């Protein structure tokens, strides 16, 4: 929920408090799941991307050679990468090396966001053992839309380049200043759902706060919409 994998988990008690508070705020906001649009098989010119779900956090991995538009320029920051994984989250919590329960509670309130870009030098299935992976087929037009959507999530400097904040937790990863505001009712998983939908994947972000509220949609989509590609190790 706060965009940290279990290896960076806060105490169980803090997480429970935070999740309950987030659920309450979600209910007060009137969030409800909307019907899914019908699934359509991507045409033959499509590419495969991955949704990576680890604990309560989700991110999207795109093959570098398939990224289009301005986002393509980001690849030069990660030489040799086969995939780039994009994760969005609350800035202070996501960037904390050892987040505390106080950090978790503060993350429930609206605050600035950050993007973490992680280079993957092997296929996601081999790079993220223990994560749940969904392989998603995307037509070229959908990839263009998704690439533009991801690019719009970067805050850029005067020369048009993404604004770096710090190195990330994984080798070669980088935190960038992100657009948008994180809150208990708009989490990393909400953002991931919006991003997938921008690319034409038949999901809705309405009511999505936790990772399972997104992955359940993919798991129940029509045949071919998604395939669980990895299991816990």
Each residue's pLDDT tens digit, 84-111: 999 999 888 778 776 666 655 655 666 8
Alpha helices in the chain (DSSP H): 12-28, 91-95, 101-106, 124-127, 140-152, 188-198, 211-219
pTM for the structure as a whole: 0.77
Residue range 131-158, pLDDT digits in tens = 999 999 988 889 999 999 999 999 999 9
Residue keyed to tokens 């659920």: 23
Delimit the domains of the chain by residue range. 6-34+46-228
**For the chain, counts of helices (H) and of strands (E):** 7, 8
């Amino acid at each position: 929920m706060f965009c940290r994998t279990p290896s960076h988990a806060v105490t169980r008690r803090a997480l429970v408090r935070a999740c309950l508070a987030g659920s309450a705020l979600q209910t007060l906001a009137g969030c409800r799941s909307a019907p899914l649009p019908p699934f359509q098989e991507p045409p033959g010119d499509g590419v495969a991307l991955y949704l990576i779900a680890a604990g309560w956090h989700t991110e999207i991995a795109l093959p570098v050679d398939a990224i289009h538009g301005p986002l393509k320029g980001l690849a030069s920051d990660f030489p040799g990468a086969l995939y780039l994984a994009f994760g969005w989250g609350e800035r202070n919590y996501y960037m904390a090396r050892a987040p505390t329960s106080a950090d978790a509670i503060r993350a429930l309130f609206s605050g600035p966001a950050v993007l973490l870009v992680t280079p993957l030098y092997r296929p996601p299935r081999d790079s993220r053992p223990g994560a749940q992976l969904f392989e998603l087929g995307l037509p070229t037009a959908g990839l263009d839309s998704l690439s533009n959507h991801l690019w719009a999530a970067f805050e850029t400097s005067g020369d048009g380049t993404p604004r770096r904040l710090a190195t990330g937790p994984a080798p070669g990863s980088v935190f960038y200043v992100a657009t948008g505001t994180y809150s208990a009712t708009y989490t990393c998983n909400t953002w991931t759902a919006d991003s997938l939908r921008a690319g034409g994947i038949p999901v809705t972000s309405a009511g999505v706060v936790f990772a399972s509220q997104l992955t359940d949609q993919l798991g129940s989509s029509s045949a071919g919409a998604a395939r669980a590609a990895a299991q816990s190790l």
